[in-house]
Structure 1
Amino acid sequence: MEELMVFYLLSGIAIATALAMVSTRNAVHSALFLVLNLLTVAVFYLLLSAPFVTMVQIAVYAGAVMVLFLFVIMMLGAERVGGAAGLRWQAPLAGIFGAALIIGALLAFLRAPAGLAPAGSPPAPLGDPSAIGARLLTTHVLPFEITSILLLIAMVGVVVLARDSRSEGK
């Protein structure tokens, strides 16, 4: 029962930080709300008895990726985002898609079976580093390599943007 209460509390925090992230106009504040959301997801992994995935979530996403995001935000000077007059159609469209997502989630929740699944063989640990490494380097090697190439392209793009902004300032 305690785990269920912690789950509901964390779910509320995750939803609140996600809503704050998309509704704030300051990009730095939005990135900080994303950090809080990622930390909440890390606690979800901890509740699932996956300590390795929890630490990877904190170190990689809440740490390294968010430092990169904040660096790009500060470098490009996009701290304050003003309302664009030409994009007024996005708010109603986002509302429609958000309502569709909520309705779909409610329908899936209402159609879900009421009880727990019968006990079978216990599942493999979610955060076993050797199992994660074996899956990444055998079954999922192509998406793993594509992700690394995309991250490399993003880093090169940041360097190119930084060089261009410095040369324009002279």
Structure 2
Amino acid sequence: MIQQLPFFYFGGMALVCAILVVTSRVAIYSAMALLGMFVHVAGLFIILEAPFLAGVQLLVYAGAILVLYLFVVMLLNLQGGGATSLQKQTPWAIALSLIAVGELGYLLVKTNFYPKLPAIPHPSVPTLGNTETIGMVLYTQYLFPFEVASIVLLIALVGAIVMARGRGRFRQE
């Protein structure tokens, strides 16, 4: 039971933060709750002995995606309010949440939590770690799609800056 306490903590806090993301009326508070959720999900990855995924979770989601959300919120200058449109969605949200909880319960009942482990490799054969294997595949087999994705993200960043500044501000007349 003592080994499960960190899982219950990180899982429970991730769930609480996710609920705060949805229920908060102030966009900045919602973004900070999203940061808390990302950090606790990274903690779950650490518990599952997946440090690479925890690092990616923190760098990509808590670092880049959250900054993008905050940039959009600051750019749009959203005020609190607008609760009437959320109140119309409440019955649908409750119904879909109950369906999701039912599916989760079904998966918990039907899942085999102790699968058969693979055979232990021969001691003389060196095994690569999680990070090394992902790096080898990413930078050999998937190098071209990786570079295309980085160029597309760069173009999107430049486009967002141009749209935020306006057309006339870049001209020097």
Query: TM-score range with shorter-chain normalisation?
Result: 0.7 to 0.9
Q: Cα deviations across residues 50-95 of structure 1 (Å, max 9, x unaligned)?
A: 223322322222123222221221121025252245x754222222
**Does the 8 A contact of 1:18 with 1:33 survive in 2?**
yes
Pick closer, same or farther for the CA change 1:143–1:11 going to 2, 3 Å: farther
Structure 2 residue 14 is the aligned partner of structure 1 residue 39: no
Q: Which residue of 1 aligns with 2:124?
A: none
Pick closer, same or farther for the CA change 1:98–1:154 going to 2, 3 Å: farther
Q: Percent identity?
A: 34
**Does the 8 A contact of 2:14 with 2:40 survive in 1?**
yes
Pick closer, same or farther for the CA change 1:24–1:53 going to 2, 3 Å: same
Pick closer, same or farther for the CA change 1:95–1:56 going to 2, 3 Å: same
- Could you list the runs of 5+ residues in structure 1 that have no partner in the other structure? none
The equivalences for 1:33-112 within 5 A come to 33-85=33-85, 89-112=88-111
Q: Cα deviations across residues 31-60 of structure 1 (Å, max 9, x unaligned)?
A: 111111110111112112222332232222
- Could you list the runs of 5+ residues in structure 2 that have no partner in the other structure? 122-126
Query: Which of structure 1's runs of 4+ aligned residues deviate more than 4 A?
Result: 122-125, 138-147
Q: Cα deviations across residues 104-142 of structure 1 (Å, max 9, x unaligned)?
A: 1111112223x52233335977x6322112233455567
Determine which structure has greater relative contact order: mean sequence separation of CA pairs < 8 Å that are 6+ residues apart, divided by chain length. Answer: 1
AA matched with 1:35: L
**TM-score normalised by length of structure 1:** 0.77
Instruction: Give secondary structure in 2 for the equivalent of 1:42.
Output: helix
Pick closer, same or farther for the CA change 1:95–1:164 going to 2, 3 Å: farther
**TM-score normalised by length of structure 2:** 0.76
Pick closer, same or farther for the CA change 1:99–1:143 going to 2, 3 Å: farther
Alignment partners' CA distance in 2, 1:51 and 1:21: 25
Bigger Rg over Cα:
2
Alignment partners' CA distance in 2, 1:154 and 1:11: 34
